[in-house]
Structure 1
Amino acid sequence: MVTGAGKTRFALACVEALRAVEPGLRVLIVVPTLALVDQWLTVMETDRLAVSGDVAVHRGGAFPTGDATFHVATVNAARTATRKLTASGRWMLVADECHRYASPSNRAAIDADWSASLGLSATASREYDQWFEEFVEPSIGPIFYEYSYADAAADGILAPFHLTNYSIPLTPSEEDRYTRLTQRVALLSTDEAANSEALKRALLARARLAQEARARIPAAVAIMSGHRGERSLVFHEKIGAAEEIARRLGKEGHRVVVYHSRMNPAQSLKSLLLFRTGQADVLVSCRALDEGIDVPDATFGLVCASSASTRQRIQRLGRLLRPSPGKESAEVATIFATQTERDRLVNEEAQLEGLAEASWFEVQFS
C-alpha cells in the first residue's frame, strides 16, 4: 500500500478483528527501526487497542519477560526474540516494512509457526534478487492486496503534488572521470568473461561520483532560497554533505536542523521535535528518514542526491505526500547531474502521467 495510506491502522484493525474471535491470540509486531517502535506505540495508545502494561517492547539488550499480549520489536531484537516468544501459545505476526526481512541476517525475525501473519510495505518487491519471493512470502504469505498512487489519489488519501527536476553540470574533471567509468561499465557489460564484481565496483564508483558532484550543495542552497519559511525536507545520500547543506542553510537564515544515523538518540529526537513543533522549518536528512517516519505537514521536498533504488524514491515521495490540515499540495524537487539520472526521472514522469506534472529547469548560480 502506497506510503500514507494508513498501513499501521489497517494492521491494528486486522489484529482487533482476529482477537475478537480468538481472544488468546498474542501479537508480535516487527519493525526495522527504533523510531518506528515509538510510532507504533503512539498509534496503539491513540487507538486504545492495548491497555497500559499489556505491551512489551524489545529494543535489544535485556529480553522482556511476562505474558504481554502485544510485543513490539526491532528486527535486530526479533532475530533472537521471535523463537523464544512463540515457543508456546498462538501468535500473529505483523511485519512492518516486510521487504526488509528477506536478507540472510533478518530472516530469523519472521521465522516461526504463525497462526496468522500480515506483511506491510509500500514497496514489497526487491530489486536485483528474488529474496522476497523465496524467503518472505513462505513466512507470511503472498501479496493479496495492492493500493497504488492512482488509487490513493482518486480516493483523496494523498496530497496533490508536482515534480520539479533541476539539472546541474559536472565539472570538467568530474565529466572526464564519469565518461571513463561509463566506458568501463560498457566494456565489462559486453564481455562475457567479465568479473561481475568488477562491473559492480565500476557502477558503484560511477554512482558515487554522480552523488558527490560538486555543484549539488550550492544548487541545494540556491533552490531552497525560493522556499524560505516553507516546511521542507532535504535529502542527501552522504552524511557529510547533509551536514554541510544544513550549515550553509543556517548561514542563509533558514531555521534548519539535521537528522542522520550517526547522531545519538537524544540529538535525533531533538531535531525531529524542533521540526514537528515548528521551531525549525527545514529538516536535512540522509536515509534515516526514508521509511516510516510521519512528517505530514511538510510541503516541499528536495532530493539533492539519491541512489538508483525505486524503493527509496517511493519512500521519499511518501514523506511529502501525506495529507495534513491546510495542506493543499506538495512539491518534490530533484537535482540531477547525469543522463542516467535524467532517464530515471523521465520514466517516473511517464509512470505518473495523470497524477502529477513535472517541470524541468537548469540551476542558475549567481
Structure 2
Amino acid sequence: MTRLSFEEGTVRLTDPPADLDLAWVERDPRTKTARAPGHRYADLRDALDAAGVEYEDGVLDAPALDLTTSYELRDYQQAALDAWRENGDRGVLELPTGSGKTVVAIAAIAALDTPTLVVVPTIDLLDQWRRELEAEFDCDLGQFGGGVQEFGPLTVSTYDSAYLRADEVGDRFGLVVFDEVHHLGGEGYRDIARLLAAPARMGLTATFERPDGAHEVVADLVGPLVYDVSVDDLAGEHLAAYDIKRVTVSLTDEEREEYEAAQGTFTDYLASSNLQLRSGSDYQKLVMRSGNDPRAREALLAKQRARDVMMHADAKVDELEAILDRHREDRVIVFTASTDLVYRLSERFLIPAITHETGASERRTILRRFRDGTYSRVVAANVLDEGVDVPDANVGVVLSGSGSEREFTQRLGRVLRPKGTTADEDTPPEDVAATGGATARADVTPTQDDLPATRAGRAVLYEVVTEETAEERVAARRR
C-alpha cells in the first residue's frame, strides 16, 4: 500500500502507484519512492483519492483542539469565509484595512478546529494576534519571534522566524494563516509556504496584486483570490464614509530653480545614454551603472536632490499648518516618505514622531497616548503603513509617498475606523469595522475654505502634491 510521510518540507510516497503522473512528483526508481513539495500535500491527497488509490497517510500530526468562537460575522465577513471554504479551505481574502480580517481568520480557525500557524510581518502584529487568540481560545499558544521560540497548537510567528523554522514544524499544522500575504511574494519567504504541509491555507491582505507579478506565486502557494471587497463597498455602513482631497502647492522660486537644475541633470543623462525608466528593473540597471559610471552616479544623486526638494517644499509645511489648524478637534496622522521631514515637522508643530529609529517601547507609548487622547496627532515615515496596531484617527495627511497603490490603500485604511464610537464587544479593537455614516465620496477637489472640520461620521485623507514636478505622476500612479 502507498504510504505518505513527511520530512523537512517534503512529502515522501512509499510504493507510489505506477500510473501516478503529476509534474510536481519526482520519482526515484531505485528506492521505489517518490517525493513532492510540502505545499502539494493537499493536491497529492486529492489526486490519490480521485484515482481510487488506497494509502496510509502519516503526514500530519494535527489533533482536534475543541475550539469555539463567540464572534458573529458580518455579512461580508461570512461571505468571505464561505468563499474560502467552498474553495477547499484555500485562498486569499482581500478586505480593506479595518474591515475585520482577523475576525474572519479566527472564525476559520474555530471551524477547522485544527492546529494553526499564523504568520505576520511585524512584532507589533505578532503581539496583536497573540492577544486576540488568547482572548478567544482556551488553548496553549506558541510563538516564533520577538525573542521567543515556543511551539503550541496555535502558534504565531513572524515571517522571518517562520522561514527559519518551517522545515522543523511543517507537519504540525492543519491550517496556516498568512497575514499581509503579499509579503509571501518575496523570494525567501516563499519557502515558508513551500515547506509546510498544512492543507488549509488562508491569505489576508488589503491589496493582493503586486506590481512585480509575484501575487501569481502566492496564488500557487496559498490559493487564488477567492473573495474581495473594496473600501467603497463598505464605506458608510461598515467603514466610515470618506473624502479624498488633493491639495496642490507650488515651489518657491529658489526651490524651482534647484529642482529644475537637478531634474535636468537626471533627464539629460537618460537621454544621452538611451535609458528609459519604465519599471523598477530599469531603475536598478541605472543603479548598477552608477557603480562604475561617474555620470550615472551624478544623475542618481541629482534625482535624489530633486526628490528632496519636491517632497520637502516649504509650501507643504505651510499647508500642513493650515490643515492642523482646521482640524484642531480631530485625530490626525501625518504620513511622509522621509525621516528627515518627520523630525522637521515634529519639531515645528510639537507632534510626536514615529520612524524606523523609534524604539518599540517608545512607539507603543506614543500610540497608547494617541489612543487615550493625550496626543491628538502623530507624524510617521512609512512605519505606520501596515503591521502596526494604529488607534482610530479620522484625518490623514499624505505629505509624501511612493506610487504604490498598496501604500495609499493602507494609509486610507488608517482613517476609516469608527469616529466617536467604541469598539463592538465582538470585534477586536485593532481590527474593528466602523458603523454608520453616508455613502463614500472620493476624489473631491476642495477650496481651501471648504473644510472647517470633518463632517460627523466621515473621514478625510489629504494628498498634498507639489505641482509641476514628478510628484504629480507619482500621485496619479497610486490612485
Q: TM-score, normalised by structure 2?
A: 0.63
Cα distance in 1, alignment partners of residues 318 and 132 from structure 2: 39
Asked whether 1:99 is paired with 2:182, we answer: yes
Amino acid corresponding to residue 169 of structure 1 in structure 2? S
Kindly provide the CA deviation profile for residues 81-133 of structure 1, in whole angstroms up to 9, marking residues without a partner as x. Answer: 222122x3442110000001211232233332222000001111111x12221
**Aligned with 1:321: secondary structure?**
coil
Aligned to 1:51: 138
- Whether the 8 Å CA contact 2:98–2:417 is kept in 1: the answer is yes
CA change 1:235–1:157 in 2 (3 A) is same
Identity of aligned residues (%): 28
Superposed displacement of residue 174, structure 1: 1.7
Superposed CA RMSD: 2.7
Are the aligned partners of 1:188 and 1:199 in contact in 2 as well (CA < 8 Å)? no
Q: Measure the CA separation in 2 of the matches of 1:55 and 1:213.
A: 49
Deviations 1:187-218 (A, max 9, x none): 52199xx9861289868635455334454334
Farther-moved stretch of structure 1 (177-186 vs 144-153) = 177-186
Task: Note if contact 2:336-2:400 (Cα within 8 Å) is conserved in structure 1.
Answer: yes
Which range is displaced more, 288-297 or 234-243? 288-297
- Which residue does the alignment assign to 2:446? none
Correspondence for 1:293 among 388, 412, 429: 388
User: In the alignment, what sits opposite 2:71?
Assistant: none
Tell whether 2:119 aligns with 1:9: no
Q: 2:238 aligned with 1:161, yes or no? A: no
- Whether 1:26 aligns to 2:115 is yes
1:39 aligns with 2:120: no
Q: Using the TM superposition, give the Cα deviation of residue 11 of structure 1 relative to its aligned residue in structure 2, in angstroms.
A: 0.9
Q: Paired residue for 2:286, among 194, 198, 206?
A: 198
Q: Distance in 1 between matches of 2:258 and 2:177?
A: 50
Distance 1:185 1:332 in 2: 35
C-alpha contact 2:185 2:215 (8 A) present in aligned 1: yes
Residues 271-320 of structure 1: CA deviation (Å, up to 9, x unaligned):
11111111000011111110143445311111111011111011100101
Deviation at 1:76, TM superposition (A): 1.4
Q: Which one of the candidate residues 304, 315, 337 is aligned to 1:237?
A: 337
- Letter of the structure 1 residue corresponding to residue 165 of structure 2: A
* Distance in 1 of aligned mates of 2:284 and 2:367: 41
Contact 1:296–1:323 (CA<8 Å) still a contact in 2? Answer: no
Contact 2:250/2:315 (<8 A) preserved: yes
Deviates more, 1:281-290 or 1:196-205: 196-205
2:158 counterpart (74, 77, 80)? 74
Task: Provide the rounded CA distance (Å) in 2 between the counterparts of 1:103 and 1:312.
Answer: 17
Are the aligned partners of 1:160 and 1:328 in contact in 2 as well (CA < 8 Å)?
Answer: yes
In the alignment, which of 415, 428, 433 is matched to residue 320 of structure 1? 415
Report which of the two has the higher share of helix: 1
Partner of 1:124: 208
SS at match of 2:276: helix
Give the corresponding residue for 2:431: none
Distance in 2 separating the partners of 1:103 and 1:198 = 22
Shift of 1:323: 2.6
Given residue 59 of structure 1, which amino acid in structure 2 is its aligned partner? G
Separation of aligned partners in 2, 1:190 and 1:72: 40
> Which residue matches 2:328?
228
AA aligned to 1:332 is L
Aligned equivalents of 1:195, 1:107: Cα separation in 2:
25
- Counterpart of 2:472? 342
- Tell me if the contact between 2:384 and 2:390 (Cα under 8 Å) persists in the aligned partners: no
Shift of 1:249: 0.8
Distance in 2 of aligned mates of 1:61 and 1:294? 20
C-alpha contact (below 8 Å) 1:123/1:311 kept by paired residues? yes
Question: Structure 2 CA distance, aligned partners of 1:175 and 1:212?
Answer: 15
**CA separation in 1, counterparts of 2:108 and 2:134?**
16
Aligned pairs, how many? 328
**Judging changes above 3 Å, is the alpha-carbon distance between structure 1 residues 183 and 36 closer, same or farther for their aligned structure 2 residues?**
same
CA 55–333 in structure 1, closer or farther in 2 if over 3 Å, else same: same
Code of the residue aligned with 1:113 in structure 2: it is: A
Shift of 1:346: 5.8
2:260 aligned with 1:175: yes
Displacement after TM superposition at 1:162 (Å) = 1.2
Q: Which residue of 1 aligns with 2:216?
A: 133
Matching residue's letter, 1:198: L
Give how far 1:173 is off.
1.2
SS at match of 2:357: coil
In structure 1, stretches of 5+ residues that fail to align are 20-24, 251-255, 352-366
Alpha-carbon distance change, 208 to 140 in structure 1, aligned in 2, over 3 angstroms: farther
Provide the C-alpha distance between the structure 2 equivalents of 1:344 and 1:264, rounded to a whole number of angstroms.
30
Shift in Å at residue 242 of structure 1?
Answer: 0.7
Q: Which of 383, 390, 404 is the matching residue for 1:309? A: 404
Q: Note closer, same or farther for the CA distance 1:317–1:58 as it changes in structure 2 (3 Å cut).
A: same
User: Which position in structure 2 is the counterpart of 1:363?
Assistant: none
**CA–CA separation in structure 2 for the residues paired with 1:83 and 1:265:** 30
One-letter amino acid matched to 1:328: G
Cα offset, 1:160, TM superposition:
0.9
Q: Do structure 1's residue 152 and structure 2's residue 234 form an aligned pair?
A: yes
Letter in 1 for 2:347: R
Deviations 1:149-200 (A, max 9, x none): 232126x121111122222223121233234434555652199xx9861289
Q: CA deviation at 1:344?
A: 5.5
Q: TM-score, normalised by structure 1?
A: 0.81
- SS of match in other structure, 2:206: coil
| Structure 2: distance between partners of 1:35 and 1:173 | 40
Q: Counterpart of 1:188? A: 275
Corresponding letter in the other structure for 2:143: V
Which is higher, the Rg of structure 1 or of structure 2?
2
